[in-house]
Structure 1
Amino acid sequence: MVASLSLPRIMRVGRGAAEELGEVVAGLGLSRPLLVTDAFLVGTGAADRLAETLRKAGLHPRLFSDTVPDPTTDSLAPGLEALHDHRADAVIGFGGGSPMDSAKALALLGVQGGRMRDYRAPRVNHGPALPVIAVPTTAGSGSEATQFTVITDSGTDEKMLCLGPAFLPLAAVVDVELTMSMPPRLTADTGVDALTHAVEAYVSRRANPFSDGLALTAIGTIGRHLRRAYADGSDTRAREAMMLAATQAGIAFSNSSVALVHGMSRPIGAHFHVAHGLSNAMLFPAVTAFSVHAAPDRYADCARALGAATAMDADEVAADRLVDELRGLCRDLDVPTPRSHGIDREAWIRLTPLMAEQALASGSPANNPVVPTADQIQDLYGRIYA
């Protein structure tokens, strides 16, 4: 098997890396970036500080802050207008997964036009697109190092996975100082998101030796530090470890794939407006329990890396312990069920067949150790509700 690998050309990783953003952008020969972020980061002053870093490097940035959680085709329209008005030659995604997903989509639409639906999976998008520079503020999505973006179709509520090298950031600037203000709920949700990326990358049918090493390293780091970061947001060492692990997990799944958890998670986010990391966490233990029998050796490796099993444990025992550890982790991080999160039971039941159909259509379940049927996905949705 030949693995096709893609990474950002430039990565600046470490405390204070954001201060070098202007140098990175200027070094790429760019001068008019559109800085895509959200209202929260404008409110904290972080977006203006980053824009000033760009101006000090002699660049001419424009700020676009009207991104929304789980970006939609409608939310991209004003961003596209800002991109063209500014005559932008690059797009900087600054924030969590939503600003970065928006930035990636705008970079492609700004050059190629058309509708986002034209670029959804299974199409692989090679470009052209404007260069993307990613500056994450959460330790979870790994979007700064992936060739994926997820945009919800405003007309159908379908959360569309779009993939290909056109969406891979040209540069990533990863600075732990940008994550220090994350509240506990966001810390938990993004941390479980990163763990899901790493585990699914490792057990995926498209796993390879390159992604394997990064995935196992990320799993081990998250196992040692996620609870610490959740309990004490000022624990700089835990925050730094989680930031690095999230990027490693992003590189791993971008060069392998995600699987059933992500396939089922996207429709929950689209129809019930649940944050992506949280919907992953709701699904993670049950989907893993459904899947472990098909690849006990791979799941056992994950359990050992996470610290849930030892080298002395048989693979089947270790794989089962992984499921137990994921359940325990979700309890410790106060992950709600869909019911306790406030999702109406009748709406959940009514939409389950459509969510199962959309999960399968995304292509991610086909990478799972067990490729599920629509009925099996509906059953899993039923199990996790309460």
Structure 2
Amino acid sequence: MVKKFTTTQTIFTGWGALQENSAALSGLGKKPLVVTSAGTWKRMGAQLAEQLSGCFSAYAVCDCINSEPTDVMIAEGLAAYQKNGCDCLIGIGGGSPLDAMKAIAVGTTSSAPLASYMGKEIGGALPSMAAIPTTAGTGSEVTKFTIITDTKTDVKMLLKGEVLLPQLAIVDASLSESTPQSVTAATGLDALTHAIEAYTSKQEQPLTDALAVSAVKRIFSYLPAAYRDGKNRKAREEMAAAALEAGICINNSSVTIVHGMSRPIGALFHVPHGLSNAMLLEKCLQFALPGCYERFGALGRAIGAAPADSSDAAAADALLAAVKQLCRTCEVPSPEQYGISRTAFFDVIEKMSADAIASGSPGNTRRAVSAADCAAIYRSLWET
């Protein structure tokens, strides 16, 4: 079967990559809109202003992306783009500003509501984009996807199209040094989810297989260290590399059941994406194992959780045990510990299950997934 492999055109990596390669931003256009969060701009604005001023005579800033991006935030960003006469975009921050940048780009060429793109391939010419992640997890800098919450329906919309791939990504691990411990955990486990799902997806391919195994190995080796000590340079560099690898993987092999079930939790209960993935990771992988023991087992052996001569089933179980332990190390809360009401959660299980299946992601799982299966997994999150 013929496989297609795409990613961002130019990627700079390495400690200090932004400072050394900021001149590359000047090729985007004449006046960029910088899409970020208030916190990131407050923390890094002075540094970024100096570098942007060296590339552009003028730029504008939209720092309204302070949580999982919504269609309302995108409208605000689009208004800023148009009001300031911008012609390109730079996203800097976690996955939310990078996703928002892509959605704003779509809005610059069409007045159609974002919801109208659900289930379609977005095409056409968009403004040039550069993505500068400050966390190690989402991989949005190298994907053709953006996830935006529709505030009218409380659905996290998965929008896609190769035109959403940024022209430039600058992956500088030094920018993640100040990432809070909880964000380090959530984004790191998001990257792990990307890598495992891409490797076990029906859409996997040889190029993504190699990157996925590499990412899984890096994350098991270095996420605990990055979580314990945010100033651990080696751990930060390895996690940045793993997140990049995993992002490239999902761009080409997509995700499976975890992401499909995670998005409704984020949309309805405002749980950060990486954390909602982490809450589901063990239960969803346990469900998926019977459809893919060979691949789960290969990952279990790759990280050293199982001997080289172990059976696929035994090695797969060992991987699941290692995932469970990593989530404990990173202190992933249950929905109840996070503060979600059990009654409120159970009241929307039917909607979340339907939304999960409708997203299409569970369909990439190598075991058939129904809405009833999703509902059972959601309920299991409350079992002691």
- TM-score calculated relative to the size of structure 2: 0.97
Deviation at 1:283, TM superposition (A): 0.4
Deviation at 1:131, TM superposition (A): 1.4
- Does the CA contact (< 8 Å) of 2:35 and 2:65 recur in 1? yes
Q: Give the partner amino acid of 2:38.
A: A
1:237 equivalent among 227, 231, 234: 234
Kindly report which structure 2 residues correspond to 1:1-386, keeping only aligned pairs within 5 A, or say none. Answer: 1-28=1-28, 30-44=29-43, 46-120=44-118, 122-386=119-383
- Does the CA contact (< 8 Å) of 2:132 and 2:170 recur in 1? yes
Q: Distance in 2 between matches of 1:164 and 1:303?
A: 33
- Does the CA contact (< 8 Å) of 1:223 and 1:307 recur in 2? no
Q: Distance in 2 between matches of 1:8 and 1:115?
A: 26
Q: Distance in 2 between matches of 1:14 and 1:382?
A: 43
Q: Give the partner amino acid of 2:12.
A: R
Q: Distance in 1 between matches of 2:125 and 2:75?
A: 19
Deviation at 1:126, TM superposition (A): 2.3
Runs of 4+ in 1 over 4 A off after TM superposition: none
Q: Distance in 1 between matches of 2:115 and 2:280?
A: 26
- Per-residue CA deviation, residues 291-330 of structure 1 (Å, 9 max, x unaligned), is 1111111111121223322311111100011111111111
Q: Distance in 2 between matches of 1:31 and 1:51?
A: 15
Tell me the secondary structure at the aligned position of residue 340 of structure 1: helix
Q: Distance in 2 between matches of 1:43 and 1:92?
A: 16
Q: Give the partner amino acid of 1:170.
A: Q
- Does the CA contact (< 8 Å) of 2:130 and 2:169 recur in 1? yes
- Does the CA contact (< 8 Å) of 1:21 and 1:54 recur in 2? no
Q: Distance in 1 between matches of 2:53 and 2:206?
A: 42
Deviation at 1:31, TM superposition (A): 1.6
- TM-score calculated relative to the size of structure 1: 0.97
Q: Distance in 2 between matches of 1:196 and 1:382?
A: 21
Q: Distance in 2 between matches of 1:186 and 1:58?
A: 32
Tell me the secondary structure at the aligned position of residue 141 of structure 1: coil
- Does the CA contact (< 8 Å) of 1:112 and 1:129 recur in 2? no
Q: Give the partner amino acid of 1:26.
A: S
Q: 1:3 to 1:59 in 2, by over 3 A?
A: farther
**Aligned residue pairs, count:** 383
- Does the CA contact (< 8 Å) of 2:220 and 2:326 recur in 1? no
Q: Give the partner amino acid of 1:297.
A: E
- Per-residue CA deviation, residues 96-149 of structure 1 (Å, 9 max, x unaligned), is 0100110000011111221110112x2111232111100000000010111100
- Does the CA contact (< 8 Å) of 1:176 and 1:243 recur in 2? yes
Q: Distance in 1 between matches of 2:314 and 2:85?
A: 58
RMSD over aligned Cα atoms: 1.1
7-16 vs 259-268, which moves further: 7-16
Deviation at 1:3, TM superposition (A): 1.3
Q: Distance in 1 between matches of 2:46 and 2:315?
A: 48
Deviation at 1:59, TM superposition (A): 4.0
Q: Distance in 2 between matches of 1:12 and 1:113?
A: 33
Q: Give the partner amino acid of 2:294.
A: D
Q: 1:295 to 1:381 in 2, by over 3 A?
A: same
Q: Distance in 1 between matches of 2:377 and 2:57?
A: 50
Tell me the secondary structure at the aligned position of residue 76 of structure 2: helix
Q: Distance in 2 between matches of 1:356 and 1:257?
A: 19
Deviation at 1:76, TM superposition (A): 1.2
Q: Give the partner amino acid of 2:34.
A: L
Deviation at 1:20, TM superposition (A): 4.1
Deviation at 1:50, TM superposition (A): 1.4
Q: Distance in 1 between matches of 2:193 and 2:45?
A: 29
